[in-house]
Amino acid sequence: MNDATITAVTGHRRWDSRGRPTVEAVVTTTSGTGRALAPAGASTGSGEALDLRDGGDRFDGLDVTTAVSNISERIAPALIGLDAADQTTVDAALESLDPSVGFSELGGNAVVAVSLANAHAAAASRGEPLWRTVLGPGVEIAGTVALPVPEIQIFGGGAHAHRRIDIQDLMVVPRGATTFAQALDWTAEIYRAAGRWMDDRGLRMGVADEGGWWPALDTNQQALDALTAAIEAAGLEPVTQVGIALDIAASQFGRNGRYRLGREERELDTAAMIDLLVSWVDRYPIVSVEDPVAEDDPAGMAAFTAATGERIQVVGDDFLVTDADRVARAAEDRSANTVLIKPNQAGTLTRARAALDAAHARGLQTIVSARSGETEDVSVAHLAVGWGSNGVKVGSITRGERTAKWNEMLRIEESLGDRARGLRR
């Protein structure tokens, strides 16, 4: 193995897919260089790592010059001389620099960019792709490798589309595909069919933050009807070939056990909200529901999991915020059966990996996920493969910041050749 002593760490101001400044970190070692960019969420859990923004009038207060300077002025001196191949030690050094809740001093955006860049630098020093090396192999690389099943957005709503509908993401899960390439082919046909469905009815508005259609619909159920129709119009069989995944993101419109459905102008309590979602699961080819109730409603999460968890994935995102302790409690309370893994929620790769390991150790499934504010960074594609995640979620089949990651998944699949074992089930 080549020496991977860190010789330089620099921060840079870049741009994300929503036209907002973001942080890029570059880590240079004696035998390789890595770079990574921080993503940002629109709907965020209260317990996740915090982006450091400048405030003031410039770019609505969203500039990141302080976070960028923290990399050069505070983080670099602490990391130079460390071994980039020892990700745990590098991440521990980051944590020791900022013991605040959520990395509020250095900025979670600065920390995650450096943590990811360090992993890329370590991989470069070995002459290996990141998925083979990050925090040790997550899969048996000497044998065959199964790729995660993609969840791909077709319609965007909620905080991603000015709340035209309450559901934040309506996605397809090409669970019957035999290869990742085939999964993307199917999705592209569904995306086009959904566009035609809206055009036929004069309902197309544009695209949401993650590249999915932004439909001019009047009810949440109309969106479910449209997506089911698009699957069938693409010549695919609902459920067996392609299922529907929903990200309700209920924390965005629910609190203290009350849920306000804005488009439908009605308010539900937790029991009624669960009844509504269960009725959708009964009626539509739904195979996954994320954050069905708000993060402050653990009893509601447990009740929904009890009602549907034997049939579908019940995914914790805002509810679990990629935190190992919360994952362990959720497994004990049976308040979810699947965990969304977002590195920037945790702040460091070590913390994100701990949440993933906590899930797998307790029989929960995992989905590695990007965010609504993204860049051309492809780290999550490598993490999803290298960590043995069951699923991967990066947005729609359109827009460069999304297709960069899907294309990287295709490159990984092609590089495996005969060792590719299809998709994880």
Which residues participate in catalysis according to the annotation? 210, 342
Strand residue runs (E) in 242-285: 243-247, 254-255, 258-261, 266-269
DSSP letter (8 states) at residue 306? H
Burial of 185: CB neighbours in 10 Å, binned 0-12, 13-18, 19+ = middle
Residue 28 CA to residue 10 CA, distance in Å, equals 9
Residue 300 CA to residue 274 CA, distance in Å, equals 8
Q: What angle do CA 394, 399, 405 make, to 5 degrees?
A: 40
Which amino acid makes up residue 353? Answer: R
Which amino acid makes up residue 369? Answer: S
Residue 416 CA to residue 146 CA, distance in Å, equals 10
Residue 1's alpha-carbon distances to 5, 233, 354, in angstroms, are 12, 52, 26
127 touches 116 (CB < 8 A): no
DSSP letter (8 states) at residue 106? T
Q: Which residues of 386-395 are buried (b: 16+ CB within 10 A; e: fewer)?
A: bbbbbbbbbb
Q: Residue 332 CB: number of other CB atoms within 10 A? A: 9
**Pair of tokens at residue 292:** 């069905």
Residue 48 CA to residue 33 CA, distance in Å, equals 28
170 touches 246 (CB < 8 A): yes
Strand residue runs (E) in 283-419: 286-290, 313-316, 338-341, 365-369, 391-396
Rg of the Cα atoms in the chain: 21
Closest to 26 in 3D by CA, of 16, 40, 36 = 36
Closest to 85 in 3D by CA, of 120, 122, 113 = 122
**Pair of tokens at residue 220:** 């949440």
Residue 298 CA to residue 61 CA, distance in Å, equals 33
The end-to-end CA distance of the chain, in Å, is 35
